[in-house]
């Protein structure tokens, strides 16, 4: 199993972070509270942690998660705005 920079297991169900414009505040908060990962400048999240809200395959963004370093984004860096969507500081 792959590990992040903190030597914690990386979930095997990573998906692209969804577009938040279609979700209620409850689901936006669920996404903000989930563990985020960054690969080649793209944000990923465990599908199960966000109640399967996204089916965006990382391969659709040209990312093969089996062959790249995956970095966890610390929770304090998670950001959201209606204009910009999800991003990190």
Q: Note the pLDDT tens digit of each residue in 15-30.
A: 999 888 788 899 999 9
* Residue 5: inside a domain: no
Residue-range definition of the domain harbouring residue 69: 14-88
* Residue 78: inside a domain: yes
Averaged pLDDT score across all residues of the chain = 91
**What phi, psi does 50 have (nearest 5°)?**
-115, 30
* Residue 4: inside a domain: no
Give the predicted TM-score (pTM) of the model. 0.89
CA-to-CA distance for 61 and 78, rounded, in angstroms?
Answer: 21
The total number of structural domains in the chain stands at: 1
CA atoms within 13 A on the CB side of 21: 5
pLDDT at 66: 87
Predicted confidence band of residue 44 (pLDDT cuts 50, 70, 90): very high
Say if residue 1's pLDDT is above 80.
no
pLDDT at 20: 80
* Residue 1: inside a domain: no
* Residue 9: inside a domain: no
pLDDT at 83: 84
């Amino acid at each position: 199993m792959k590990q992040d920079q903190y030597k914690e297991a990386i979930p095997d169900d990573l998906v692209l972070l969804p577009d938040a414009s279609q979700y209620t505040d409850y689901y936006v908060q669920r996404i903000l509270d989930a563990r985020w990962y960054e690969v080649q400048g793209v944000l990923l999240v465990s599908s199960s942690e966000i109640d399967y809200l996204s089916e965006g395959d990382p391969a659709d963004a040209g990312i093969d998660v089996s062959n790249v370093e995956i970095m966890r984004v610390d929770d304090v860096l998670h950001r959201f705005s209606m204009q910009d969507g999800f991003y990190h500081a």
